[in-house]
């Protein structure tokens, strides 16, 4: 930012942040009267008016609607990003039913500026979505991004999405679609209830999807995607059921541009979503098992994961969350062997029943696994017990593995960040007589590679601090 652009950039932030509480767009304009320079800047630079965020209280009433219209018109000929949020602390939405006599921006007021909106973010009640979708075809000719975030469940069947309207299918420029709570809006297959130009989308994010939504069916139509994310509803076990396309009739789909894919599922591996597809450009993959259970009764489908890795040759960032890796060191090794380009690996809340399974990260048998690995994070390794009579030996074994890993990876390899934490044991119960040597050696390695980010839970503070205090063992 240069001195010449400072007034413009600063005023842009003022205009964006001033609309708080129950103020209206006009209240932000008062700040533009600070000086003649700001007045000239405010009304002479259309870029300052290309972003408008309103809480519900700022979008109701004739004056508020007119002020919102005026704000957006000042951006002409540029397009506008419009965001409508619920009122903070109010727990509701003033426009929460059929249109009322009091004007609201979401009613007819939106149609007057629809052709100016390119980015639309609506955090609105489920029942209001129905009126929004009743805009006529081609009402949003310049809409590029649409985010719907409903926050209330409606029992009345009349408020479900119902037969698809032509409003979205005529948004020919739509490239990004995000629906945070699909289960609140749609009670049937997505391809039947939501008519969208799927083949043109570049970003697609669907949250709280159920089996009956048949997500895989629409996913297979989105061959131009660059980013995709799907998350199963917590009460549904299937994320990708397909009931209209027999497996024998399914053909491979190639996603030549898809670089980032996130899939959250429950007790059923999302085979329909991830199989019969090629991901030549995929660089970032996140697979998360959604479960409240600390030890989910779920068997990871290693064959499917291995096949997915083979179909993603460019993969360089992999996150596995809440997956049971216990007792499957060879399977994990098989996965790592199939992902030689990995630079970032995160195993979050993944259970290891045997800490010795960590040896796959310092296996010296050629060929070397993950030769390009730069970041390795294992936030929670479950040692299986916090019993004072057992934890000493387990802790010693765990720190032995960490010590071997650091010796193997630090220096000879590109590793620049390593973080590991433990789950389910109290450091105050660990008898230091079992792990004094390991703690001291790991601490020395951490200090010897100050240019790298190395964090081993329990070493830097708790255990090392006890050693520094002169403690050797706990009786």
This prediction has a pTM of 0.86
CA atoms of 357 and 407, how far apart (whole Å): 17
- Return the number of other C-beta atoms located less than 10 Å from residue 426's C-beta: 10
Which tokens sit at 331?
């399977």
Question: Which residues contact residue 388 at a Cβ distance below 8 angstroms, ignoring those fewer than 6 apart?
Answer: 429, 431, 474
CA atoms of 62 and 74, how far apart (whole Å): 19
Q: Is the pLDDT of residue 156 over 50?
A: no
pLDDT for the residue 243: 43
Q: Identify which of 288, 291, 278, 171 has the alpha carbon closest to the alpha carbon of residue 236.
A: 291
Specify the 3-state DSSP secondary structure of 196: coil
Which tokens sit at 473?
């063992």
CA atoms of 394 and 136, how far apart (whole Å): 66
Average pLDDT over residues 314-334: 87
Q: Identify which of 223, 179, 215 has the alpha carbon closest to the alpha carbon of residue 199.
A: 223
Q: How confident is the model at residue 469 (pLDDT cuts 50, 70, 90)?
A: low
Q: Is the peptide bond before 367 cis (omega within 30 degrees of 0)?
A: yes
pLDDT for the residue 1: 44
Q: What is the pLDDT of residues 70-105, one digit of tens each?
A: 888 888 899 999 998 886 655 454 454 454 556 778
Specify the 3-state DSSP secondary structure of 343: coil
CA atoms of 341 and 330, how far apart (whole Å): 19
pLDDT for the residue 126: 79
Q: How confident is the model at residue 252 (pLDDT cuts 50, 70, 90)?
A: confident
CA atoms of 81 and 118, how far apart (whole Å): 6
CA atoms of 468 and 470, how far apart (whole Å): 5
Q: How confident is the model at residue 352 (pLDDT cuts 50, 70, 90)?
A: confident
Report which DSSP code applies to 361.
G
Q: Which of 190-194, 213-217, 265-269, 402-406 has the highest mean pLDDT?
A: 402-406
Q: Which residue has the higher pLDDT, 473 or 289?
A: 289
Q: Which residue has the higher pLDDT, 129 or 301?
A: 301
CA atoms of 53 and 10, how far apart (whole Å): 17
Average pLDDT over residues 193-212: 91
Q: Is the pLDDT of residue 429 over 50?
A: yes
Q: How confident is the model at residue 137 (pLDDT cuts 50, 70, 90)?
A: confident
% of the chain exceeding 90 in pLDDT: 31
Which tokens sit at 395?
């802790």
Q: Identify which of 458, 437, 359, 349 has the alpha carbon closest to the alpha carbon of residue 402.
A: 359
Query: Do the beta carbons of residue 254 and residue 280 sit within 8 Å?
Result: yes
Specify the 3-state DSSP secondary structure of 110: helix
pLDDT for the residue 318: 98
Instruction: Report in angstroms the alpha-carbon separations of 417 from 65, 163, 456.
Output: 51, 51, 11
% of the chain exceeding 70 in pLDDT: 74
Q: Is the peptide bond before 77 cis (omega within 30 degrees of 0)?
A: yes
Beta strands in 314-458 (DSSP E): 317-321, 344-348, 375-382, 417-423, 453-456
CA atoms of 149 and 442, how far apart (whole Å): 47
Q: Helix axis angle, 302-310 relative to 329-337, nearest 10°?
A: 10
pLDDT for the residue 20: 47
pLDDT for the residue 384: 66
pLDDT for the residue 285: 98
- Return the number of other C-beta atoms located less than 10 Å from residue 294's C-beta: 11
Q: Identify which of 118, 42, 53 has the alpha carbon closest to the alpha carbon of residue 80.
A: 118
Q: How confident is the model at residue 295 (pLDDT cuts 50, 70, 90)?
A: low
Q: Identify which of 287, 275, 410 has the alpha carbon closest to the alpha carbon of residue 348.
A: 287
Q: How confident is the model at residue 248 (pLDDT cuts 50, 70, 90)?
A: very low
Q: E strand or H helix at 146, and its extent?
A: strand 145-148
Q: How far is CA 422 from the centre of its chain?
A: 24
Average pLDDT over residues 458-462: 73
Q: Which residue has the higher pLDDT, 73 or 36?
A: 73
Average pLDDT over residues 105-121: 85
229-233, 318-322, 455-459: which has the minimum mean pLDDT?
455-459
Q: Which residue has the higher pLDDT, 19 or 51?
A: 51
Q: Is the pLDDT of residue 475 over 70?
A: no
Average pLDDT over residues 107-111: 72
Report which DSSP code applies to 136.
P
Q: Is the pLDDT of residue 12 over 50?
A: yes
Which tokens sit at 428?
């105050």
Q: What is the pLDDT of residues 37-64, one digit of tens each?
A: 667 777 777 887 888 888 877 777 788 8
Q: Which residue has the higher pLDDT, 364 or 284?
A: 284
């Amino acid at each position: 930012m240069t001195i010449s652009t400072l007034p413009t950039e600063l005023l842009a932030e003022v205009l964006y942040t001033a609309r708080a509480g129950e103020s209206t767009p006009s209240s932000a304009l008062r700040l533009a009267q600070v000086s003649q320079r700001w007045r000239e800047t405010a009304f002479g630079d259309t870029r300052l008016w290309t972003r408008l965020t309103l809480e519900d209280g700022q979008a109701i009433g004739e004056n508020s609607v007119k002020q919102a219209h005026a704000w957006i018109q000042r951006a002409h000929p540029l397009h506008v990003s419009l965001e409508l949020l619920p009122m903070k602390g109010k727990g509701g939405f003033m426009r929460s039913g059929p249109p009322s006599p009091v004007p609201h921006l979401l009613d007819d007021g939106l149609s007057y500026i629809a052709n100016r909106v390119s980015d639309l973010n609506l955090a609105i009640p489920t029942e209001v979505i129905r009126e929004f979708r009743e805009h006529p075809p081609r009402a949003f000719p310049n809409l590029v991004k649409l985010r719907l975030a409903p926050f209330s469940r409606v029992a009345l069947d009349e408020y479900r999405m119902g037969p698809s309207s032509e409003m979205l299918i005529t948004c020919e420029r739509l490239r990004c679609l995000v629906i945070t709570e699909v289960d609140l809006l749609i009670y049937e297959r997505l391809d039947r209830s939501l008519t969208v130009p799927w083949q043109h989308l570049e970003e697609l994010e669907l949250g709280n999807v159920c089996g009956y939504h048949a997500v895989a069916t629409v996913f297979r139509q989105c061959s131009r995607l660059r980013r995709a994310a799907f998350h199963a509803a917590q009460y549904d076990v299937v994320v990708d059921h397909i009931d209209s396309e027999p497996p024998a009739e399914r053909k491979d789909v190639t996603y030549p541009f898809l670089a980032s894919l996130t899939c959250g599922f429950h007790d059923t591996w999302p085979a329909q979503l991830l199989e019969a597809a090629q991901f030549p450009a995929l660089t970032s993959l996140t697979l998360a098992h959604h479960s409240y259970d600390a030890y989910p009764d779920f068997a990871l489908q290693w064959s499917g994961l291995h096949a997915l890795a083979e179909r993603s040759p460019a993969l360089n960032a992999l996150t596995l969350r809440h997956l049971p890796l216990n007792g499957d060191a060879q399977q994990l090794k098989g996965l790592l062997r199939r992902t030689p380009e990995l630079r970032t690996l995160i195993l979050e809340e993944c259970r290891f029943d045997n800490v010795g399974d960590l040896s796959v990260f310092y296996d010296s048998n050629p060929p070397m696994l993950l030769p390009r690995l730069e970041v390795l994070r294992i936030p929670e390794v479950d040692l299986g017990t916090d019993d004072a009579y057992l934890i000493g030996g387990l802790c010693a074994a765990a720190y032995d593995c960490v010590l071997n890993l650091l010796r193997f990876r630090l220096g000879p390899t590109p590793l620049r960040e390593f973080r590991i934490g433990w789950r389910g044991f109290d450091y105050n119960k660990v008898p230091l007589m079992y792990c004094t040597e390991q703690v001291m050696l790991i601490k020395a390695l951490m200090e010897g590679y100050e240019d790298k980010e190395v964090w081993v839970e329990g070493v830097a503070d708790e255990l090392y601090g006890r050693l520094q205090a002169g403690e050797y063992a706990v009786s």
